[in-house]
Amino acid sequence: MTHAVSLSLDAAVDLTRTGDLWLFRGRSAADHAIRAVTNSPVNHVGMAVVVDDLPALMWHAELGRGLLDVWTGTRHRGAQLHDLREAVEQWTGRYRQRVWLRQLETPVTEAMEAAALTTVARLDGTPFPATAALAARWVRGRLRRPAGVETTYCAEVVAAAYQEMGLLGPERPANYYDPGSFWSGDELRLLANGRLGGEVQVRV
């Protein structure tokens, strides 16, 4: 699967499991700014949450509030849990982003799924920071200094979930990470024999 050139959205949604990464690259000025500041090939990341017979969901953080947050049943900005297909269609359609799936090639236990949902319960609804504040949070993280919980951004909520699931250690705070940290070229080091496959482009 990791050697495939691309997948349709239907196939990618069918394959995705909890812990898989969805990575986005857009063309807007804000997208370019995020990539330039962080030296990253992508500007947004979300994590799949697939539990029991529920539709696949995406855990991420964004400025918009166009989609229903399935955790609270409301529309709000910041950290959100969305229907994954709807989120991808919004990011590729309205936001004009390209998208890739990167699968977690590690068995995810019920305890790890419960840990991911614990992160959602703790952070859902946390506001998305303004651009300057986002940059300051990330720089603070690079200095290994945790930031407060008053705001959060996409890579931070994914890193927090990975830490709660036991896939990332506590030596680096969640605000250390940026979207590019989850791209294969950054050589993200996972715990518990964790391994991520390569990026597979998703056709929408």
Domain-wise residue ranges, the chain: 6-203
Nearest to 183 by CA among 8, 34, 25, 54: 25
**Strand pairing partners for 61?**
79
| pTM listed for this prediction | 0.94
* CATH number for the domain running over 6-203: 3.90.1720.10
CA distance 90 to 132: 25
Average pLDDT, the chain: 94
In degrees and rounded to multiples of 5, residue 130 shows phi and psi of -65, 160
Q: By percentage, how much of the chain surpasses pLDDT 70? A: 98
pLDDT at 4: 54
CB 178 within 8 Å of CB 139: no
